[in-house]
Structure 1
């Protein structure tokens, strides 16, 4: 199983110091955090795309390009690229540049977007939510596979005998489908034979077993090589030396962000009881000490047969020193135990 770190670049108000960290400071910190993830031997880093005051990163490609210059081995992925409101030609060009810059370490995770700020910002209509993603994914896959592009759709101008430059270092950039749990999205990934990553950030992970089963069945039914099947989950994670102490210290940061988003979406206030329930074995929060997080990741492997786990560790904007400690523990304590417990593929 590959193990990685995911971030959105949170700059939410820090309850400990009572002020908001600047985007400038947060971006500088992120580069240091990615560098550490590489140094401790983690496999992949994923950067999210948002267009809000409480997130510092609107362009994952820029962060990943900067990270490419200070890392050696770690894969560099968007997590996610909101493809519905992006131009597939520009997405491919940007990630081809990243692939060349990083020596072949670029990946793209594409999704429809659970945050919708990019739609009005770039002049798209939410009524076109589904068709935008379907057609743009088709075009991106076409560009990724073919030297000469002939494509026609309804959401942008057609391409006729067009070549897209530069080409990536790899023959094809790995493209993952990121989903929140809708069967339609899972079916799309399976039919296309694309890797699947599921965001499991609440409730009970075992509830997603039917979706993973559906993906595996449809993947095989459509004639794809099951030996190449890749399934990942992306979940909120935080680590410290002492599990309960870490959870208690981190809760105000986490709850602050959940309440900010929840207020916009009509959710009730986030309670400590919810937080602690999520930390239990059956829950979706990977928050505690290294042993607790290790055990839960191995449990996820039992449930789903994962090939990758992404630990999203900056929810709520915890302090940089604590994020660095969490990455260190994930790479030096959790990863070795996971690799020791699982048979080599």
Structure 2
């Protein structure tokens, strides 16, 4: 079940949020260049994966994720490069395959993806898709994308793109494709989908007690077995910020988190932020905000509860100062990650470590991509 805490992975996630620099809001071009610098920093402090999301809103510059990852590939040499997430529903799977095959080749095999249906739906009207077909679009495109990754030649037809007749795409991905996770926000149907397709699970936990997802993790592990798949990694994505003290981290994060969540509450109709709810989220909820020791203890606890082999921190936030972002990244890699490994070695609990590249399984003694 475990192979040692050295195999527990730590990822850094960005949604391309624009930072401030000396009190000045960065331009879009400056924000893009900052992301490449932060990928380099993440590698230098020993983190395992740097991922960029896909959004189409003001103050976020991650709409062309493969381009950003290709630039990061040239600026780094070892760190994994991924997505958080790729909105597969509004992408063309053929073009997506070609883009990520290109990034994987440029990076020397360091690319991976998290595939999702989208919690933010701005891309649906932008690219001419009907949100009423949300589920059907994703299922069809996932089927095609996985076939393109797993098969040498593909003949296919569906409702949302022209048919393919004995197509072999170029450039080629490695045999079996690149690591691809299914991102979920809490739907049991999505958990079952990941298991059915033999894909690792990325749980986006952005509110409430993270431990409530333990049931999803256990459902996933049972479903993998029922579908005849080997055990695969489970990961968690959550928001946070790390500073020297709990007080500093919470004060700075609250200042920038509050306006973002206020806007989201107005757009989506959920609770407006209050100091009391914020304290609850940082104490026992899904915000990983505090000193290195506080954040490490919280990650270790949720790793045990949710059967994790990887934890990803969404570190950026609209107009957060770039020096605050830098410090948080440094503390995450240099202080939090080693401390989590110490805590898990001392008390492993139910956490799971595969020691394999995400989305790999073992068949006949040979590791292959799931």
Q: TM-score range by the shorter chain?
A: over 0.9
CA deviations 1:306-334 (Å, max 9, x no partner) are 01100001123311111011000000001
Separation in 2 of the partners of 1:331 and 1:29?
18
Indicate the residue corresponding to 1:109 in structure 2. Answer: 114
Q: Deviations over 1:138-157 (max 9, x none)?
A: 00000001111111211111
CA contact (8 A) 2:234 2:308 kept: yes
Q: What TM-score comes out, normalization by structure 1 length? A: 0.95
Asked whether 1:251 is paired with 2:258, we answer no
Deviation, 1:34, is 0.8
Question: In structure 1, which of residues 67, 74, 94 is the aligned counterpart of residue 72 of structure 2?
Answer: 67
* CA distance in structure 2 between the partners assigned to 1:3 and 1:210 by the alignment: 22
Partner SS for 2:75? coil
Across the two proteins, how many residue pairs are aligned to each other?
Answer: 340
- Structure 1 CA distance for aligned equivalents of residues 134 and 122 of structure 2: 12
Q: 1:20 Cα deviation (Å)?
A: 4.0
Which is further off, 68-77 or 264-273? 264-273
Quick check: 1:190–1:219 contact (8 Å CA) kept in 2? yes
TM-score by length of 2: 0.89
Per the alignment, residue 278 of structure 2 pairs with 275
- The within-5 A match list for 1:245-324 is 245-280=248-283, 282-324=284-326
Aligned counterpart in structure 2 of residue 194 of structure 1, from 179, 195, 199: 199
- For 1:198-209, list aligned pairs within 5 A: 198-209=203-214
Deviation of 1:341 (Å): 3.4
Contact preservation (8 Å) 1:100, 1:169: no
1:90 aligns with 2:92: no
Residues 297, 170 of structure 1: CA spacing in aligned structure 2 closer, same or farther, 3 A cutoff?
farther
Residue 330 of structure 2: which of 328, 332, 343 is its match? Answer: 328
List structure 1 runs of 4+ shifted beyond 6 angstroms: none
**1-side partners of 2:176 and 2:120: how far apart?**
32
The root-mean-square deviation of aligned C-alpha atoms, in Å, is 1.6
| Structure 2 gap ranges (5+) | 1-7, 346-352, 356-370
Q: Which residue of 1 aligns with 2:82?
A: 77
C-alpha deviation, 1:30, in angstroms: 1.1
Counterpart in the other structure of 2:138: 133
Question: What SS is found at the alignment partner of 1:206?
Answer: helix
Partner of 1:101, secondary structure, is: helix
Deviation of 1:161 (Å): 0.5
Following superposition, the deviation at residue 65 of structure 1 comes to: 0.7
Residue deviations 1:50-85, cap 9 Å, x none?
011121110111111110011111110111110000
Equivalent residue for 1:210, pick from 215, 220, 228: 215
Distance across 1 between alignment mates of 2:275 and 2:192 = 36
Q: 1:201 is paired with a residue of what secondary structure?
A: coil
Match of 1:163 among 159, 168, 182: 168
Deviation of the 1:11 alpha carbon: 2.6
Cα distance in 2 for residues equivalent to 1:327 and 1:170: 34
**SS of aligned partner of 2:172:** coil
Residue 154 of structure 1: SS of its match in structure 2? coil
What SS is found at the alignment partner of 2:54?
A: coil
Cα distance in 1 for partners of 2:306, 2:319 equals 30
In structure 1, list runs of 5 or more residues that go unmatched: none
Distance 2:46 2:104 in 1: 20
1:225 corresponds to: 230
